Homo-oligomer: A and B are copies of this chain.
Amino acid sequence: MGKGTLYIVSAPSGAGKSSLIAEMLEHNPAYAMKVSVSHTTRGMRPGEQDGVHYHFVQKEHFEALIEKGEFLEYAEVFGNYYGTSRVWIEETLNKGIDVFLDIDWQGARQIREQMPKAKSVFILPPSNGELERRLNARGQDSEAVIAKRMAEAKSEISHYHEYDYIIINDDFDTALTDFRAIIRAERLKQDKQAEKYKGMLKALLAE
């Protein structure tokens, strides 16, 4: 059995990244794929579940994991740690399962260094007007927060060229079909297929 592929997925807030990943995982029974769940030391919020939204851990535990080199990347934000566990990702990939990692451009850079075979996908909104419309439609954020997100979006988008693939999320279904094509095509790469069809190739080439 071949190894899975690690997909680094980045996008500005409001581009539709979470919905695309969720839809992909829900309706792709033919492919084995999972989303990486980050570790954090921040408190659990209402509606969040341990092991689903985050692995919620104590600061001492997190720092011990850092010491052991168990994070592919981690960052401290407002006094809380957030990190991506190396062990779970490597075990999952070794089972032939593709892993999605929802992360910003800074985390993406750290991951690429440690996992050079990872493929990265950047999701873009079709325009700033549409991005702002989507952020407003969520009804979650105040005007000031949305202005802040729009500024952050520009900074995130400026790193689009560091990614292997770019998906424009104008029409959701088109973007989803794009995402699926990337995953299907990556599974057709020579090294993946040679590993998956080792026995068949041996038989084809037998004297």
Query: What is the interface of chain A, defined by CB distance below 8 A to chain B?
Result: 122, 124-128, 154, 157-158, 160-161, 163-168, 177-178, 180-182, 184-186, 188-190, 193-194, 197, 200-201, 203-205
Contact = CB atoms under 8 A, between A and B. Distances in A.
A154 B202 CA distance: 11
Given A127-B200, A204-B128, A204-B154, A165 B185 contact: yes
B163 A190 contact: yes
B181 A194 contact: no
B197 A188 contact: no
A197 B182 contact: no
Q: How many copies does the complex hold?
A: 2
A47 to B, nearest CB: 32
Contact of A203 (B127, B158, B201): B127
A169 B124 CA distance: 35
Contact of A190 (B154, B157, B165): B165
Given A165-B189, A168-B200, A182-B188, A205 B126 contact: no
A165 B182 contact: no
Nearest to A131: B204
B158 A126 contact: no
Contacts of A168: 193, 197, 200
Given A181-B181, A194-B160, A188 B201 contact: no
A139 to B, nearest CB: 24
A12 to B, nearest CB: 9
A43 B200 CA distance: 39
A190 B126 contact: no
Contacts of A128: 203-204
A51 to B, nearest CB: 32
